[in-house]
Structure 1
């Protein structure tokens, strides 16, 4: 099993993810090879909270052009975790 530093890349701070905070749901970019069980253990170990549910989604990279050269941004994986009642992640507070 991977360590939590290898699973969690960074939190996602956007309007949609901030709206989910009211429902006690937090959004993270995660390692594309990580599964839901690894994500759950990583969040619990990193922040000392109890995770109730995990949703994951794969995000395809976009096609980008610079002049005649066509490239693609890398694919990503996003996870939304729901915490148990009474648990919070202080990292998101005040953002």
Structure 2
């Protein structure tokens, strides 16, 4: 399988949180993805990069927050997350690099 460089642009990074770790027990992996990425693009990228079978992709868009750091006001960017459900028998180890 040949890996297209555009797939690396779609998936920004894995999200490793307590909630994402609990989801991994149900064959789900959470990724931070590009904001304009579509579900079919995310599915194709995960299948090609990790050589797994994806059954479902759910996305959510977390709006950026207003924050104050050392007296300086700023706005965090919007973040799009993708919860990818894998077929039975397929696994992704997000602790290793790609």
Given the two structures, how large is their TM-score scaled by the length of structure 2?
0.87
- Give the alignment's Cα RMSD to 1 decimal: 1.8
Give structure 1 regions of 4+ aligned residues with deviation exceeding 3 angstroms.
none
Using the alignment, how far apart are the partners of 2:13 and 2:31 within structure 1?
Answer: 6
Q: Which runs of 5+ in 1 are unaligned?
A: none
Q: Structure 2 residue aligned with 1:80, among 68, 78, 83?
A: 83
Counterpart secondary structure, 1:42: helix
Unaligned runs of 5+ in 2: none
- Is 2:55 the partner of 1:39? no
The Cα of 1:92 is off from its aligned counterpart by 4.5
Could you give the per-residue CA deviations for residues 5-51 of structure 1, whole angstroms, max 9, x where no partner exists?
11000000000000001100000000000000000000001100000
What residue number does 1:29 align with? 32
SS in 2 for 1:16: helix
Aligned-residue offset at 1:3: 1.5
How many aligned positions are there? 92
Q: Are 2:61 and 1:61 equivalent residues in the alignment?
A: no
Against the structure 1 CA distance between its residues 92 and 51, is the aligned structure 2 distance closer, same or farther, given a 3 Å change threshold? Answer: farther
